[in-house]
């Protein structure tokens, strides 16, 4: 059973006037088969956590540890983290001009699996997954994220998630910019992966609307660079009714 353990994680980012601490001691354990929702206001550190776990060079780890099944994630390069099973669906997916979606997906799968997937079975797998996400087959020959709508970018992220089969999936505001239909389709893709029981999911969001489709096992409120409160799905309902004001003012503690 894959287990991601985050202990007393401190992270800074370069800013005008010097490094600024964003994460101020985060503790979190995500086990295979579990879904954890991370909720909180803008600037609370949610996306910083996501990108720090993925190895973005913009963020500097100044303290704490992150392990995956006892292996030091922070000592791994970005590609080593991906091969170890850490997956990040980005809030703002980047364009990759000159690289088709089909080539990108097969190259990624080859890197993760250690060998190229057999072409016949791979083509069938990609086709079925694209159909499930209601993606036009012609999409496969377009350049990665180039000219994609917001919904197309997010569906492409979930297409990667379904095909690459990670052990830990970090979904950074996957619901942002999606209309109701796209939100439902994307959520169904996430749920198909969850139902395998082979992935631990860290779902980062501002709003509860995606949680109507993806039911979390745990909800954590992020505020001022820390987890201010943790609970079950009912905590999301509380946030829907009361908002984050109490946490921003420091009225709640971990």
The predicted structure's pLDDT at residue 43: 86
Q: In degrees to the nearest 10, what's the CA dihedral of 45, 79, 151, 30? A: -50
The string of pLDDT tens digits covering residues 61-78 is 999 999 999 999 999 999
List the CATH number of the domain containing 66: 3.40.50.300
Per-residue pLDDT band for 248 (boundaries 50, 70, 90) equals confident
Structure tokens at 89: 């669906």
Q: Measured between alpha carbons, how far is 108 from 126 in angstroms, rounded to an integer? A: 13
Question: Is residue 185 one of the residues assigned to a domain?
Answer: yes
Question: Is residue 148 one of the residues assigned to a domain?
Answer: yes
Residue-number span of the structural domain to which 137 is assigned? 3-35+45-217
The pTM of the full predicted model, rounded to 2 decimals, is: 0.93
Question: Is residue 244 one of the residues assigned to a domain?
Answer: no
Q: Measured between alpha carbons, how far is 142 from 30 in angstroms, rounded to an integer? A: 35
The string of pLDDT tens digits covering residues 140-184 is 999 999 999 989 999 999 999 999 999 999 999 999 889 999 999
Question: Is residue 251 one of the residues assigned to a domain?
Answer: no
The string of pLDDT tens digits covering residues 199-228 is 999 999 988 999 999 999 999 999 999 999
The predicted structure's pLDDT at residue 250: 59
Long-range contacts of 235-242 (CB under 8 A, 24+ apart): 236/37, 236/39, 236/208, 236/211, 237/208, 239/39, 239/208, 240/208
The predicted structure's pLDDT at residue 16: 85
The predicted structure's pLDDT at residue 177: 85
Question: Is residue 132 one of the residues assigned to a domain?
Answer: yes
Structural domains in the chain (count): 1
Q: Is the pLDDT of residue 254 over 60?
A: no
């Amino acid at each position: 059973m894959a287990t991601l353990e985050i202990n007393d994680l401190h992270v800074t980012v370069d800013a005008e006037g010097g490094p600024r601490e964003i994460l101020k001691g985060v503790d979190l354990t995500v086990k295979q088969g579990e879904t954890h929702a991370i909720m909180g206001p803008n600037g609370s550190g949610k996306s910083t956590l996501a990108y720090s776990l993925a190895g973005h060079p913009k963020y500097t780890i100044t303290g704490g540890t992150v392990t995956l099944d006892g292996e030091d994630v922070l000592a791994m390069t970005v590609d080593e983290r991906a091969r170890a099973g850490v997956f990040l669906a980005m809030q703002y997916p980047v364009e990759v001009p000159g690289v088709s979606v089909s080539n990108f997906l097969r190259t990624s799968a080859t890197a993760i699996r250690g060998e190229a997937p057999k072409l016949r079975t791979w083509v069938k797998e990609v086709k079925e997954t694209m159909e499930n996400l209601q993606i036009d087959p012609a999409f496969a020959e377009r350049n990665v994220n180039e000219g994609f709508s917001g919904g197309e970018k997010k569906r492409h992220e979930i297409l990667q998630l379904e095909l690459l089969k990670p052990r830990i999936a970090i979904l950074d505001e996957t619901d942002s910019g999606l209309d109701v239909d796209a939100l439902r389709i994307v959520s169904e893709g996430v749920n198909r992966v969850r139902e395998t029981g082979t992935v631990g999911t860290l779902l980062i969001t501002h709003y509860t609307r995606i949680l109507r489709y993806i039911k979390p096992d745990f909800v954590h409120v992020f505020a001022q660079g820390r987890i201010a409160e943790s609970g079950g799905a009912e905590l999301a309902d509380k946030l829907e009714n009361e908002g984050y004001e109490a946490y921003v003012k420091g009225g709640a503690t971990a």
